[in-house]
Structure 1
């Protein structure tokens, strides 16, 4: 594998509105939280409800225990390896349990099987993003 790429790329900051719009285009992200064993990062399906990120999980798992009322980070990205381009959005905020459930059209649709009735809502406090653009 060569260290050379076909294209040279330039890094650009993305403003909050564009970051939120990019989040609306995807359905899989990664949530970072800290529990008793330290930092953890897990992939999750998500949905957007306004500017908030909605995740469903099990009520007894590490994410529900550590994420509820905790500070979390959430990241989504899209990459094109051929052109060495893409974007990444990071949201930081507090996750809270949502009750009652959001309407079905505003709930995530998990890829993995199992019951996920515990809903976490991340209210963005800090939103940042970067876009890597081929030169």
Structure 2
């Protein structure tokens, strides 16, 4: 029987999270840029236990993540938000410098959106991974709890 969290969302184990990651191709890198939080979409692939993305060497993403702990988020939801899943990875990002590994990565579908030729590969090892799944009728109730206004402030709570 699947485990649930305090909101009634199904808790995914590591293998389920990795399986969902393997089937996706677009995620978001969460990092710090100039002391401010930043999020950037990125094509990615799983490669030997890590998330790998390709980005121009002069980008804010490249500068902001090198040797830093970052989060990487992937999700998929039905249009009505009644079902879906999300997975979050945390790891210390590093540039891939090994020419043999770079040659392997060149075979992956990680084209750079800008078409620039100065792109570099970043590796985010999967040091921590968590995930949740929202299914069927329970999901509407769970989503309403997540987006319920905080009575004290009138703001929306995102637990």
Q: Same fold by TM-score, threshold 0.5 exceeded?
A: yes
In structure 2, the residue matched to 1:7 is none
Report the CA distance shift for 1:83/1:64 in structure 2 as closer, same or farther (over 3 A): closer
- Within the candidate set 33, 44, 51, 1:35 is matched to 33
Tell me if structure 1 keeps the 8 A contact 2:112–2:119: no
Computed over aligned residues only, the root mean square deviation of the Cα atoms, in angstroms, reads 1.7
Q: Secondary structure at the match of 1:64?
A: helix
| Residues matched between the structures, number | 126
Cα distance in 1 for residues equivalent to 2:115 and 2:78: 29
Q: Which structure shows the higher helix fraction?
A: 2
In structure 1, the residue matched to 2:43 is 45
Cα distance in 2 for residues equivalent to 1:82 and 1:133: 12
In structure 2, the residue matched to 1:93 is 91
Instruction: Please report the TM-score for the alignment, with normalisation by the length of structure 2.
Output: 0.73
Report the CA distance shift for 1:12/1:119 in structure 2 as closer, same or farther (over 3 A): same
Q: Which structure shows the higher strand fraction?
A: 1
Which deviates the most, 59-68 or 71-80? 59-68
Which deviates the most, 108-117 or 125-134? 108-117
Instruction: Please report the TM-score for the alignment, with normalisation by the length of structure 1.
Output: 0.85
Cα distance in 2 for residues equivalent to 1:68 and 1:84: 37
Cα distance in 1 for residues equivalent to 2:9 and 2:82: 11
Tell me if structure 1 keeps the 8 A contact 2:56–2:112: no
